[in-house]
Structures are given as structure tokens and as C-alpha cells.
Amino acid sequence: MRRQLPEIEEFVQGIQAADRVLLGQAITLVESTRPEHQEMAREIIGRLLKQSGVTDSFRIGLTGAPGVGKSTLIEALGLHLTNQQKKVAVLAIDPSSAISRGSILGDKTRMEKLSTSELAFIRPSPSGDSLGGVARKTRESILLVEAAGFDTVIIETVGVGQSEYAVHSMSDVFVLMLQPGAGDELQGIKRGIVEMADFLVVNKADGDNVKLANQARTHYLNATHLLPEKANTWSPKVLACSALEQTGISELWESLELYLKHVKDNGFLETNRRRQASYWLKEALENGLRTMFYNNPVIVNQFETIEKEVLESRISPFAAAEKLLNAFKDNSG
Amino acid sequence: MRRQLPEIEEFVQGIQAADRVLLGQAITLVESTRPEHQEMAREIIGRLLKQSGVTDSFRIGLTGAPGVGKSTLIEALGLHLTNQQKKVAVLAIDPSSAISRGSILGDKTRMEKLSTSELAFIRPSPSGDSLGGVARKTRESILLVEAAGFDTVIIETVGVGQSEYAVHSMSDVFVLMLQPGAGDELQGIKRGIVEMADFLVVNKADGDNVKLANQARTHYLNATHLLPEKANTWSPKVLACSALEQTGISELWESLELYLKHVKDNGFLETNRRRQASYWLKEALENGLRTMFYNNPVIVNQFETIEKEVLESRISPFAAAEKLLNAFKDNSG
């Protein structure tokens, strides 16, 4: 980042002109913990939203267990798209980034070819104290990359923990990557994640694995038939591909485009985005409320004592809450 | 309820003397939506907690799909306990009670014998606008029945939706009831629920079903071996019983007693209760905060307009939240 931060106006114009340096700096502001940076970021996004309105983008959420080949697939799919002159942004939500300060996508060499493309923008996962914080930053970054003209936004996460739900809550489509393998393939993956998936992509359908991959595909195909119908009325599509050998990639994209048409036609895309915006408003509000409450000096002062009484069963949790809420009411503002 | 409500002191003394009428009335206060009733309830619970402190009770959470025989089992287990002069309270959390205004346990004839016992107290699920509200009321009622000397508290819920988590969050032990049946028995039940269970009880091991029930038992036994170790270091116990023919009931109770000894000895019981109290404090606080926020006249006034801007992508959810939070800050207290 430059010593002197550019002015808001410079950011707004630069991002609209697809200036990658300014875009990157704006995302850095989003990710910053400094209040003045966050305020600047909010101002920039606000100005961009006012000017561009709803953008015609496609937000693709992608998850899969470590080692399933997410980066390789994103690179293959990304190159397939940049070859068609599409502009691809790759963002990530890494739940472990609270500790590791950004591991997935941190290593840009993982997408060596895509990262050198003029038409692609790759950004590692932000770090943060909580998954909620990390997710919020990524959600805001989506707005920035879209304002910079990136029409396809891939949001990656690792298939562990709760981050899949976060990615799902900001994507138009949810892609679950799977490995061919013996036994009950659904075993390792939480049922809820499978139920969210619009696409199940069995990767590594190459070399000795082709037969296994096709078996896995059939298995998942049967499994998805048992799932309840989704709100988008799309029957989950099960595909096999090889990110390494780049087979099945164009089929995947064609199928994703069919999906996009489907949810545009039936109105789900718009309804879903509105629902997501409403969800994020609620999340941001309640997160802000909690922060306001727990940082209130009177609460800071009283909380520990009252919590101790609760833990020792000397007061019920509900009476304790009432006490603290009254103290907050009398001492906020 | 009487025309004139008894005084707080009368409630406190009555409940301590195990007066069932006053106990029932106090629970009605807990369940009431009128603020003055809630305040009275809070005062009564507060007084009782101060006087009795931590009670030596056993809170048993029980779930299972509709038709699995929960009432029959609770009656059989309850009678087994009252025969030993134990005092048994049966409470419930019915997620559908928001609509049906209390369905499960509503029909007392379902536990005909137990409900006439002097040593038993059966209370249908409270109703409420939300599962959270229903659960909170049951959580407070636990404190009341314990203060009235009921040493075994069974909290029942139907195995659909999120209510199992609510029951789990207020129980010392979590029992999942299952049916013998063909195919993959785990299919219908959410994985997370199975993982929470300390006991898996295959009911209806009677008549032609004995063989099937034992097969199911073996199946679940194998399945539980694959589960990760629980915080209470208890290996889930899989039992078969017939609530109808009252076989396996004393084995279930003996096993529950072993569990109770296990979690008392290793300190989990206390740690878990403290964790639960802390959880309920947090829940009550955040619920109260939300109520305070969304009922604030300034927020009521501005919310709809700002939410509309968010839904139309004219402002980001985060900037909108900031705006509303600032308005709240300036106009609360």
C-alpha cells in the first residue's frame, strides 16, 4: 500500500476502470481492523453501489475436502472462462485464517497460469478473529470485484467446519467437490453440505481413477435423488471431471450456465440475492449490537460478577440477563 | 389460576413444600407473555435459587421421531422411578407449539398411570412465537420443578427440526429413541443428533419385532463406534427395550444411573451445567438485545426504508447496519 492513501474518489473511479492496484487496496481497507479504514471501505462500496446498482455477475461457491483439487479446478475453470474473455475473480473464506492469517489461496503459485491472466483477480482469504468476521470481509470484497467488472466470482472454502454455510450465504450456486474412493462416499461429508449442493463434482477422473470416479458419480447420483427438492427447483447435477487433465471442465461450465439461466428464469437468483442481503444486514446488525453491548463500560464492569452468580446457580440466567440489559439501557447512548 | 394471584412468598414456600397447584401456577407465570407475570416468575425463581442453591437432580433429555413411543417409554420409566419413591417431572419442548399452542404432552391420557401418581408432575410443552421462546420457558420451568423437589426431570421433544439442540442444551444426558426397521436406520435421523446421543434406545423390541430390534441394535452399536469421542468421555450405550411390555426399562435406568455416576465422578456434570448456564445467559442477553433494538421507536421508524435500500442493492448490508446501529446508539436509554 502507498504511504498516502488515495482519496475516496480516486478509489471509486479506479475500481470502475478496473484498476487492479486500487481494487486490491480497497479490499485491504475492507480487511483492515482500523475503524477509519473500515469507514473508508464502506464509503467506497456505498459510492460504487449507488453508481453501478445491481451487477450482472455470477457468484459461484465452491467447497471440498483438503486435497480434492479445488485450486486445480478453479485454475482450469478460470482459464476456460478467461479464454472466452470473461473476467474471473477468485476469493476465499478460510476458517483457519483466524489463526494462520490466511492460508488458502495464500500461495498464488497454486494457480500459476490463472494468476498471471489480465482477466483474473485472485485474492487470498482475509484473516479475522472469527469465521463471521472473515466471511463479512469476503462478502464486502465481492461487491468490490463486481464493481471492477469481474462477472464471474468464485468463492472458495475448505470443506471443514462452518465456512460452507458462510460461502453458501453469498453465492448464487453451490458446488461441492468430491473424490472418487471406496466405501460410503458420503460418510466424510456432512449431510447438510450435500443437501446445499447444486453441483457435485467428482474430481480426479483421470488415469487409474476413471472407473472409480464413474462409480462415485453413480453413487452420488443415486444419493441426490433421495434429497428433498431445493428452493431453486434445480435437481443437483452430478459430474465427473479431471482438473489436472482439464477434461469435463467445459461440460461443467455449460451446466453452470444452464443453472444460471434456470435461476434467472424462475426468479430464484434475484429472490435469493435479496434474501442473502437481508441475512447479511441482520448478521451485521446483531454482530454490531453484541459489540456495542459487551464493550459498554457498565457491562464490562458488571458482567463478570453477574456471570459468576449464574455459574454458581445463585441467580437464573434469565434474571441475570434482565439485570444486565437494564444496566445497558440506562447507560448506553 | 385463582382470581387473585398468590404473593411471591406464598409461591416460594408452597413450591418448597411441593405444593403442586402453586408449582403449576408458577410455571404458568413463566409461560405468560405478560411482563408483570414474567417479573413475578423471575422473582420466584430468584428467591428459590438463593435458598436452595444447586439441586441434586438428574435432567434427562429424550427425543425420537413421532410414533417411536416416547410417551409410553416415559410412562414406563416414570413408573419404575416412582416405585422407587423417586419424584419425576416431565416437561416438553414442542417446536410446533408456536402454531398448535402445545401439542406434545398436551394429551395427559397418554401417560394415564404416571399422571395420577403423587410423585409425578407432567406439564405439556409451553407455546411461543419461536423455538427459542418455547425453550426458554421450559428451561425456567426446570428450575421450578427442581425447587419443588423433583429429582428426575425428563425433557421430551419430538425428533424434528432444531428442538433436539434446545433439549440437549438443558439436559445432563441425551437419549435418542429409535425404531427397529429395514434399510439404513440412520437415514432419517440427522447425523448431528446421533452424535449428541449418550443413549440410543431401540424401542418396540416386542412381538414379531424382537429380531428386527436386535438387528437394529447391532447396527447402531457399529455406527456409534465410528463416532468421535464425546466431551463427557462416555461411550454411547445402545439398548433395546419394549416400553409397551415394560422390558428393558430397569436396564435402561441402571445404565442411566451408571452414566450419572460417570459424569459426576469426572466432573462433566458440573462443567456441563455451568456451560449450559453460560449459554442460556448469552441466549437471553442476545434475545433481549434484539428485542430492545427492533422495538426501539427510531429503529421501527427507519428499518423498513433502509432494508429496502439494501434489498435493492443501493446500499451494502454493512453500511446499512452501521447507519441503524448509530441511530440506535443516539436514541436508546
Question: In this predicted model, what pLDDT tens digit does every residue of A172-203 receive, in sequence order?
Answer: 999 999 988 744 455 466 777 888 999 999 99
CB atoms within 10 A of CB A289: 20
In this structure, the answer to whether residues B1 and B61 fall within a common structural domain is no
Same-domain check for residues B211 and B137:
yes
Q: Encode pLDDT of A205-244 as tens digits.
A: 999 889 989 988 998 888 888 888 889 999 999 999 999 9
Number of CB atoms found within 10 A of residue A232's CB? 19
Supply the mean pLDDT for chain A: 88
Provide the b/e sequence for A136-149 (b: ≥16 CB within 10 Å): bbbbbbbbbbbbbb
Would you give the DSSP letter of residue B247?
B
Q: Are residues B168 and B122 in the same domain?
A: yes
* All three cell numbers of A104: 488458502
Tens digit of each residue's pLDDT (9 = 90 or more) over B233-265: 999 999 999 999 999 999 999 999 999 999 999
Same domain flag for B253 and B138: yes
Spatial distance between the Cα atoms of B224 and A222, rounded to a whole number of angstroms: 25
Residue A271 lies in a domain: no
- For residue B302, the enclosing domain spans 280-330
Residues B101, B20 share a domain? no
Residue of B89, B161, B175 whose CA lies nearest to B130: B161
If asked whether residues B43 and B83 sit together in one domain, one would say no
Q: For residue A13, what pLDDT band results from cuts at 50, 70 and 90?
A: very high
Burial class (CB in 10 A: 0-12, 13-18, 19+), B169: middle
In a domain? residue A222: yes
Residue B288 lies in a domain: yes
- A199 three-class SS: strand
Label residue B293 by pLDDT band (50, 70, 90).
very high
- Whether B167 is in a domain gets the answer yes
CB pairs under 8 A between A and B: 149
**What is the DSSP code (8-state) at residue A238?**
E
The region, left, alpha or beta by phi > 0 then psi within -120 to 50, assigned to residue B313 is: left
Q: Is A273 within the bounds of a domain?
A: no
CA distance A53 to chain B (A): 6
Going by the DSSP 8-state scheme, the letter that residue B232 receives in this structure is: T
Closest CB to B333 among A139, A314, A331: A331
For testing the chain B interface, which of A54, A282, A285, A293 should be mutated: the one with the most B CBs within 10 Å?
Answer: A285
Q: Per the domain annotation, does B273 fall within a domain? A: no
Q: List CB contacts of A269: < 8 A, sequence separation 6 or more.
A: A172, A260, A263
Helix (H) or strand (E) holding B88: strand B88-93
Question: Is there a contact between B315 and A280 if contact means CB atoms under 8 Å apart?
Answer: no
Closest CA to B126 of B113, B144, B114: B144
B-chain residues within 8 Å CB-CB of A143?
A: 316
Name the pLDDT band for B65 (thresholds 50, 70, 90): confident
Q: CB–CB of B93/B134 below 8 Å?
A: yes
Domain tally for chain B? 3
Which positions in chain A touch B322 (Cβ < 8 Å)?
42, 284, 288
Residue B181 sits in a domain of what CATH number?
3.40.50.300
Same domain, A177 and A254: yes
**Coil vs helix vs strand at B223:** helix
Angstrom distance (rounded) from CA B36 to CA A56: 53
Q: Is B161 in contact with B63 (CB distance < 8 Å)?
A: no
Q: What is the pLDDT of residue B101?
A: 45
Are B125 and B239 found together in one domain?
A: yes
Q: Is B286 on the interface with A (CB under 8 A)?
A: yes
Domain shared by B172 and B306, yes or no: no
Inter-residue contact B272 to B211 (CB < 8 Å): no
Chain B hits for A292, Cβ within 8 Å: 325, 328-329
- With CA atoms as reference, report the closest residue to B276 among B122, B134, B158, B169: B169
Q: Which residues of A touch B315 (CB under 8 A)?
A: 46, 49-50
Q: Does A298 touch chain B (CB under 8 A)?
A: no
Distance CA B281, CA A303 (A): 11
Does A66 share its domain with A133?
yes
Determine the straight-line distance between the first and last CA of chain A, rounded to whole angstroms: 36
CB within 8 Å: B286 and A286: yes
Note whether residue B172 is domain-resident.
Answer: yes
Q: Counting beta carbons within 10 angstroms of the beta carbon of residue A207, is it exposed (0 to 12), middle (13 to 18) or buried (19 or more)?
A: exposed
Longest dimension (CA), chain A: 70
Tell me which chain A residue has its CA closest to the CA of residue B332.
A333
Give the tens place of pLDDT for each residue, A122-149.
998 888 778 888 899 999 999 999 999 9
Whether the pLDDT of residue A71 is over 80: the answer is yes
Could you tell me if B219 and B249 lie in one domain? yes
Chain B CB within 8 Å of residue A182 CB = no
Nearest CB to A284 within list B191, B284, B318 = B318
For residue A311, tell me if it sits in a domain. Answer: yes
| 3-state secondary structure at position B107 | coil
Do A40 and A59 sit in the same domain of this protein? no
- Provide the 3-class DSSP secondary structure of residue A91: strand
- CATH number, position B24: 1.20.5.170
Q: Do B136 and A318 touch (CB under 8 A)?
A: yes
